Amino acid sequence: MTAAFELAPQAAQPLLEVTGLSVSFPTDDGLVEAVRGVTYSVSPGEVLGIVGESGSGKSVTSLAIMGLLPPTAQVTGSVKLHGQELVGASYQTMAGLRGRQISMVFQDPISSLNPVYSIGWQLAEAVRAHHDVSKKEALSRSVDLLQLVGIPNAKERAANYPHEFSGGMRQRVVIAMAIANDPDVLIADEPTTALDVTVQAQILETLDIARDATNAAMILITHDLGVVAGVADRVLVMYAGKPVETGIVDDIYYRSQMPYTIGLLNSIPRLDSKGGDELRPIPGSPPSLLNLAPGCPFSPRCDFRIPVCDQEEPALLDVEGIDHQAACHVSAQFAPSATTSEAVQA
Amino acid sequence: MTVSNVVAEPVLQVRNLVKHFPIRSTGLLRRNVGEIHAVCDVSFDVYASETLGIVGESGCGKSTTGRAILNLQPATSGQVLFGGKDVTQLTGHDLRVVRRDMQLVFQDPYASLNPRMTVNDIVAEPLVIHKLGDTKKSRRDTVQDLMKTVGLNPEHGNRYPHEFSGGQRQRIGIARALALEPKVLVLDEPVSALDVSIQAGVVNLLEALQDRLGLSYVFIAHDLSVVRHIADRVAVMYLGRIVELAPRDALFERPAHPYTRALLSAIPIPDPRKERERRRIVLQGDVPSPASPPSGCRFRTRCQVFRDQLDDGQREACIEKIPALEDRGQGHPVACHYPDVEKVV
């Protein structure tokens, strides 16, 4: 985990530093280790894409950063924002930071908004939570925000209620709310998963505008490798609660060094590939995070398995490329030319 | 799975299918106050061993079309011809006989399996309903074969649905649909609820089954990448109408309707270099309400061609005339007064 500090060479002092973050939930059946040692950092203006399937711990990681997990969750490790430790911080400290320095956009916009207050009122409330301004000023700021995220007739629409907005419009409102106090870090957790593709394109554009306006670092959590390819600067691939590969976006897609990442890229049908060639699914399914067996959690599904994989969990180590790390015992054998996403194009 | 069978007789013919849902007033009388135009004048053919993809965004009528084909939703008007019979006119026993040849696989493998039935009972249920298989033993054998066919361990037949993962459950749903040896399968978003690494397995299974059993698929999906992989021909729907109907490669490489182009350009490709170079057509606004669709071409309110390239005289046609779905020199039918072929993928 010492490699954390080498992740962001462009900035001396990263904005957000997550080191060895682990989250487990006690259940009747035992301890569920949802996140097992996540380490990454982000710098201002940077977009980090976190990719993984359901249950890989990508959402729990961000909830732990925001301090939004239930009290039963056991969180260890360190999360530093501007050098300030967030793990174990008091409710008051977190309340002062949430929205002001770090804010979050959730997947489902309808449950992120209060149905009985107007959009303008809710935005104004977000502004007034951190700024000592009059209601009138806060309202005019919320109209500006609605305009920024591309809501037509912002002034009239501010008086509307969430049910009068479409899904895409609601997500724009949630983004406006997240940037209302000019945060330094914006976490977007599957922001477009519930939306249609043409609306997804609109929302990704809106997120870009929001990021330009605030110069915030963005953490984009998604299972869609296409979205990450277009938006992210760096990518973190998660599997069974752990990062298994991290690097700049081109290294991950063209010079992947971890069988899980390679398998994911091979298993998705692509819009730009002629049909006919068979998809290569990853056999089996992700392991249960309850009483995880020793060894690499991916080894039961891995084509490149060697005996050591079942005994020892590989650490995230430097591999070829710029700040490119992979957690795999056999990663040395994946020469850049062996990576398949380029072969698919050929 | 090539498109060589175009000359053959279609297995399924859908002609001018219309489905309107009434909007009722709240209160005691529940008067009809309007109609949702869910499916309007949809026609297409499905040939033997062919996959027809129906794509579009939420609310475009693709699922309603699928259900109307099976007469699960009675059509308002139009015909669905299957084996010389109009399915929309059938009831009772006759309908059940036709449904033996046409089965549906649902999107949500969690909601479409009865949690209190074992997998053996779930897969055998269609056989019981249609009184096939003489004895319990012979039915059990059929079920075991079906489980093997879809890649499940037959020994797990006594388990309940909750003991299976999402991908396995979807396989159970497919096994159940195959139990009656149908000719046509309507697949309503069969892989969209599954994780990407699991999706591929189910898609491969569907392709293998088609090759082996000669099934025809109506594959309803919003994910065009999956459709490009599996479909032979693709129909694009927008607000209840088919706007473009073309063989797969023609549609993806030479999309003629402005909506198809916008839809294709909006889909991200998992390839950073290509993504950086691509130009995205971002549509303005939202899909209009199907209760009061725009006059003329239904896409004109969001159309980038209408907005940027047409003069007022040309726009008149879009506002007043409903564009027919016909070949306008693109090699395949397209419902646009000003079609234009452009590469977007």
Read off the pLDDT of residues A180-220 as tens digits, 9 standing for 90 and up: 999 999 999 999 988 888 889 989 999 999 888 889 999 99
pLDDT value at position B51?
96
- Record the tokens describing residue B169, joined without a space: 């459950």
Is the pLDDT confidence value at A6 over 60? no
CA B180, CA B130: separation in Å to the nearest integer? 8
- Assess contact for B113 and B172: CB atoms under 8 A: yes
Question: Is the minimum CB–CB distance between B343 and chain A shorter than 8 Å?
Answer: no
Determine the average pLDDT of the residues in A278-284.
85
In the structure, what pLDDT confidence band is assigned to residue A275 with cuts at 50, 70 and 90? low
Q: pLDDT (tens digit, 9 = 90+) per residue, B266-309?
A: 999 999 999 988 888 888 878 888 889 999 999 999 999 999 88
Amino acid at position B125, single letter: E
In the structure, what pLDDT confidence band is assigned to residue A346 with cuts at 50, 70 and 90? very low
Determine the average pLDDT of the residues in A164-187.
92
Integer Rg of chain B from CA: 21
pLDDT value at position B213?
92
Determine the average pLDDT of the residues in B149-169.
90
CA distances from residue B337 to A204, B15, B57, B155, B334 in whole angstroms, order as listed: 31, 22, 22, 58, 9
Helical segments of A11-52, H only: none
pLDDT value at position B8?
75
CB-CB neighbors (< 8 A) of A49 in chain B: none
In the structure, what pLDDT confidence band is assigned to residue A9 with cuts at 50, 70 and 90? very low
pLDDT value at position B342?
75
Strands B12-24 and A325-326 turn out to be unpaired
- Record the tokens describing residue B309, joined without a space: 């390239």
- Record the tokens describing residue B174, joined without a space: 């497919």
Per-chain mean pLDDT for chain A: 88
- Assess contact for A208 and A220: CB atoms under 8 A: no
**Lowest-confidence region among A244-258, B48-62, B189-203, B257-271:** B189-203
Is the pLDDT confidence value at B2 over 80? no
- Assess contact for B191 and B201: CB atoms under 8 A: no
ipTM of the complex, rounded to two decimals: 0.82
Helix, strand, or coil (residue B76): coil
Q: Which of A73, A75, A97 is nearest to A88 (CA)?
A: A75
Provide the shortest C-alpha distance from residue A276 to chain B (in Å). 7
pLDDT value at position A258?
92
Is the pLDDT confidence value at A343 over 60? no
Determine the average pLDDT of the residues in A214-236.
93
In A, residues 254-273, which contact B (CB 8 Å cutoff)? 254, 263-265, 267-273
Determine the average pLDDT of the residues in B35-43.
93
CA of B262: which chain A residue's CA is closest?
Answer: A198
CB-CB neighbors (< 8 A) of B58 in chain A: 196
CA A215, CA A195: separation in Å to the nearest integer? 25
Determine the average pLDDT of the residues in A137-144.
94
Q: pLDDT (tens digit, 9 = 90+) per residue, B113-132?
A: 999 999 999 999 999 988 88
CA distances from residue A237 to A207, A241, A326, B187 in whole angstroms, order as listed: 21, 10, 9, 31
Enter the pTM of the model: 0.86
In B, residues 166-205, which contact A (CB 8 Å cutoff)? 167, 195-201, 203-204
Strands B51-55 and B233-238 turn out to be parallel
pLDDT value at position A3?
44
Question: Is the minimum CB–CB distance between B228 and chain A shorter than 8 Å?
Answer: yes
Helix, strand, or coil (residue B323): coil
Is the pLDDT confidence value at B78 over 90? yes
- Assess contact for A252 and A323: CB atoms under 8 A: no
Mutate to test the interface with B, among A272, A280, A288 (most CBs of B within 10 A): A272
Cβ atoms < 10 Å from Cβ of A121: 17
In the structure, what pLDDT confidence band is assigned to residue A11 with cuts at 50, 70 and 90? very low
Mutate to test the interface with A, among B171, B197, B345 (most CBs of A within 10 A): B197
- Assess contact for B271 and B287: CB atoms under 8 A: no
Place of tokens 């591929």: B200
In the structure, what pLDDT confidence band is assigned to residue A276 with cuts at 50, 70 and 90? low
CA A176, CA B279: separation in Å to the nearest integer? 25
Mutate to test the interface with A, among B194, B229, B253, B282 (most CBs of A within 10 A): B229
CA A271, CA B267: separation in Å to the nearest integer? 8
In B, residues 33-92, which contact A (CB 8 Å cutoff)? 57-58
Helix, strand, or coil (residue A218): strand
Q: pLDDT (tens digit, 9 = 90+) per residue, B89-102?
A: 998 999 999 999 99
